[in-house]
Amino acid sequence: MAVFSSTLDSRFECVEDAEESVRNFARESGFEESDEYFIALAVREVLVNAIRHGNRFDPDKKVGLRVFREDSELVIEVTDQGEGFRLESVPDPHLPENLERPTGRGIAIAKAVMDELSVEHSPSGTIVRMAKRLPSG
Exposed, middle or buried: residue 34 (CB in 10 Å: 0-12, 13-18, 19+)? exposed
Of 14, 6, 23, nearest to 48 by C-alpha is: 14
Residue 63 contacts residue 57 (beta carbons within 8 Å): no
Per-block mean pLDDT, blocks of 10 residues, the chain (137 long) = 91 97 96 97 96 95 97 97 73 63 77 94 92 90
Could you report the per-residue pLDDT of 79-114, keeping only the tens digit for each?
999 987 766 666 665 666 656 666 667 888 899 999
Range of the domain at 39: 3-133
- pLDDT at residue 98, rounded to an integer: 59
Q: What is the CATH number of the domain that holds 66?
A: 3.30.565.10
Report the number of distinct structural domains present in the chain. Answer: 1
